[in-house]
Structure 1
């Protein structure tokens, strides 16, 4: 109870500071920050206010805001590598400019560590990750999005444009568009081949930033060609793209594809579609008596850590119950004052895990597998036989505690300035293994043929390798375990990695801690 009272007091202090922010910062003649109350003629702009508060949250203190008594508890993981800066300097036109400057000092052994911190000025990401609602990428004219990802692929001679996945609830998913469908024209334009230039930009704008689009599509399974007219829309995210149970070497093997880590409970405390979908999925696997599990994270850029914890709890063996799932690592000042912050230093498995009895858990990974996905698989390594197949992961062992930066106008109405996502913590598993900034390498490299529909295991190089392992204990193909592919080598079309830049979020966020410390 004492801790809860302390946290509530801090919440009140932050609220007071936010409300007086527009009247609390200006430069003195020496160019330093002056926290005294200015005259009306020196009231700063909203952008200056945003820069000032962002800087203080990251570098100085997240409580009191410098009023009366300052408690030096900066939140930025690499705060001690950043020199004292003047956030109101004309050198920083926007808060993003200041943030970019701060990130530039986070360097270790000559390598830039912070590739991740950013500002969200709309709050759209919080709505998506916390409440499971689709994001709006076109902030001007569109509502929601089409709910699909696309990528170029190559057969070694020419390029092709494919749908990589589509959320079942999205405008694209509801029209039956799915993985492996080939896009042969965009808005009637067939000149869409990969050029790392104008064609790519044209396709990117049409797929991610337009309110509507017409696609001419060749279906993966039937080969039929038809036009599909899509309108951007909002929808409840269903992160499970595909699931099934295989029988491999007389062993029941569960398989599912998860593309994002939306929260299991929304901001009102109600179970989201993510939770109900995962509950249904693991009930199905448990009823089937699976002894192997394949988790497909190849396009999963992460999200909420609570969903990672849900998955780990559902997958882990009974022997992990009550033991450490993972550790948090904060900066030195937060760590030294951890008891007063309300922050936790570790997360434990529940007293009862999901009830599965697995011989192996396989993760299909790629360079797009990031943050909460990496956290999930890393947490299981100390407790069970975990194998990675595919490609080296993105490399993001750090995460965010988001801060809402707001102001109160003359009518005392709260107005959002931005949500700050600046790196606040790193994670390590129970064996204190973390720091995988260069990614986690797979146990077996496999190709990503994006023209292969979900679940076609004889043509999916990742699934085929895993099936070999279950059959023989080896990922390698031999004359004894090779299967006849329905595809010829010429029709195997590998993804051209990073051929299109998606606006979707990549990272992991702990919204529980956000509520605790602000």
Structure 2
């Protein structure tokens, strides 16, 4: 779960995200006292205890975990000085116990030799290099830092802008997706060697550089670019595409940021679609790793017709321990609102134990937003970067609307998590999964596309010539698109380069109290 801000103080309180809890491994904290062993010898051991003990109660697959003595969390402690690595190692091993019967591998298995879980992670709160923490605390609130663009090489000497964040200095200078980056500080670029790649990556770690870029009109110019903080628009592009005998609404959406950051832009886009009476929508989520469930719900309600009002959109399911009120570790954990204030409840402060974790109490139903009522077909563009809240929107609409997926297989993350502060760290471990109205939600391996298509980074968002968009237009106009489309004639495998971390998460901000 996302924290709106991360406290550096060792025993800090929760920073205002519903279903994110502060669990501090201090000497008087009940997490350590729950340990069946003697008191921990140091903070690292206490933190390892806490990681395991909280997982035993609130991890979604907690029933698959061994008992404390068998797992022996303190055995992960060492004097190497690499405490975070030790914690990550323990968390990884915890997440490898639950096995997906459909694959025979752990639900959180990423691949051979990879020692990071697919969903869960732990970070040091005070670390300025913690990219997931930075993204969690800033990006989803509408702020970003850096150069504001990402790169993909589609040839040894052909490096393109994969995307340019709207609102970034690069975007304001007219740089767009599909533009070709020729040189940095006068050095012509290629990826023929590791040294070439290291040079490009290194440029992103500097405060500024000069980029030589050729745009879609074959115009070449030098741009003096600086790394900075900036306010983003989460919408890459929205437009109405004029196709044969039809109008198609197109939305390229970057991240499910807070409603404060996303709502105005989304509502304006769908007002435009409603005015054009579009019957087909292309929702481009190729780089959208998720974000706030409240914003995903808004987008779903903007797409869906009012005839679905009152019907189930999705249900969040927690583990049986939490459903049955047996996660007693939450009793002393105070819940605070978005401003860090305690909430009075029955003459005392509201705690996380007071929240309702039942399926009935966590069912979201359709409630139409906007005036768009004419949509007959929804085409989602997906890649491996499409995750969490993006997949939630797709899964929620599938039972009710004609949904078609175009692109490549999505990430596969039907689970969300709580943020748990332990000493100077925050652990994000899978805590709930979502199912649609048909009880469907087993897309742990991702959604397979109905029509495969490359991520064609040589064309901008909304360009009808871009491969995935072209497939959608063909379908909307009654043409049969070719299978296995490719934007490249060569066998060169595209390579993403540069400093482009992505947040993958499904973040719940709403509060439901037990009745």
Partner of 2:197: 200
> Aligned runs of 1:363-382 on 2, under 5 Å?
363-382=380-399
Of residues 405, 426, 434, the one that matches 1:427 is 434
- How far the C-alpha of 1:470 sits from its partner, in A, is 1.7
- How far the C-alpha of 1:166 sits from its partner, in A, is 1.1
- How far the C-alpha of 1:165 sits from its partner, in A, is 0.8
Distance 1:445 1:424, change over 3 A: same
Distance 1:212 1:493 in 2: 34
- How far the C-alpha of 1:232 sits from its partner, in A, is 1.9
> Aligned runs of 1:120-199 on 2, under 5 Å?
120-122=123-125, 123-128=133-138, 130-134=140-144, 144-154=145-155, 158-193=156-191, 195=193, 197-199=194-196
Q: Is the 8 A contact 2:267 2:370 kept in 1?
A: no
> Aligned runs of 1:218-297 on 2, under 5 Å?
218-219=214-215, 221-264=216-259, 272-297=260-285
Distance 2:505 2:222 in 1: 35
Partner of 1:211: 207
Distance 1:90 1:183, change over 3 A: same
Q: Is the 8 A contact 1:48 1:88 kept in 2?
A: yes
Q: What CA deviation, in whole Å up to 9, does each residue of 1:247-292 have, x standing for no partner? A: 323322110111111121xxxxxxx221111121112222222221
Determine helix, strand or coil for the equivalent of 2:73.
coil
Q: Is the 8 A contact 2:25 2:32 kept in 1?
A: no
Partner of 2:312: 324
Q: What CA deviation, in whole Å up to 9, does each residue of 1:306-335 have, x standing for no partner? A: 211111011012221111111222222123
Distance 1:54 1:90, change over 3 A: closer
Instruction: Name which structure has the greater RCO, CA cutoff 8 Å, separation 6+.
Output: 2
Distance 1:509 1:52 in 2: 26
Q: Is the 8 A contact 1:448 1:495 kept in 2?
A: no
Q: Is the 8 A contact 1:254 1:285 kept in 2?
A: yes
Consecutive unaligned residues in structure 2, runs of 5 or more: 1-17, 109-117, 126-132, 327-352
In the alignment of these two chains, the number of paired residues is 437
Distance 1:352 1:310, change over 3 A: closer
> Aligned runs of 1:441-456 on 2, under 5 Å?
441-456=448-463
Partner of 2:53: 56
Segment of structure 1 superposing worse, 209-218 or 355-364: 209-218
> Aligned runs of 1:64-79 on 2, under 5 Å?
74-79=57-62
Q: Is the 8 A contact 2:415 2:432 kept in 1?
A: yes
Q: Is the 8 A contact 1:322 1:348 kept in 2?
A: no
- How far the C-alpha of 1:508 sits from its partner, in A, is 1.9
Q: Is the 8 A contact 1:317 1:383 kept in 2?
A: no
- How far the C-alpha of 1:418 sits from its partner, in A, is 2.6
> Aligned runs of 1:378-457 on 2, under 5 Å?
378-405=395-422, 417-457=424-464
Distance 2:421 2:33 in 1: 24
Q: Is the 8 A contact 2:304 2:368 kept in 1?
A: no
Distance 1:353 1:393 in 2: 26
Partner of 1:119: 122
RMSD, aligned CA: 3.2
Distance 2:222 2:513 in 1: 50
- How far the C-alpha of 1:131 sits from its partner, in A, is 2.2
Partner of 1:347: 363
Distance 1:26 1:439, change over 3 A: closer
Q: What CA deviation, in whole Å up to 9, does each residue of 1:87-114 have, x standing for no partner? A: 3335464322321222232333431312
Distance 1:451 1:79 in 2: 45
Distance 1:102 1:79 in 2: 9
- How far the C-alpha of 1:117 sits from its partner, in A, is 0.7
Segment of structure 1 superposing worse, 356-365 or 241-250: 241-250
- How far the C-alpha of 1:424 sits from its partner, in A, is 0.8
Determine helix, strand or coil for the equivalent of 2:158.
strand
> Aligned runs of 1:480-499 on 2, under 5 Å?
496=494
Q: Is the 8 A contact 1:153 1:495 kept in 2?
A: yes
Determine helix, strand or coil for the equivalent of 2:181.
strand
Distance 2:29 2:453 in 1: 58
Distance 1:405 1:359, change over 3 A: same
Distance 1:320 1:224 in 2: 49
- How far the C-alpha of 1:395 sits from its partner, in A, is 1.4
Distance 1:189 1:289, change over 3 A: same
Q: 2:88 aligned with 1:96, yes or no? A: yes
Q: 2:30 aligned with 1:34, yes or no? A: no
Consecutive unaligned residues in structure 1, runs of 5 or more: 1-10, 60-73, 135-143, 265-271, 407-416, 478-486
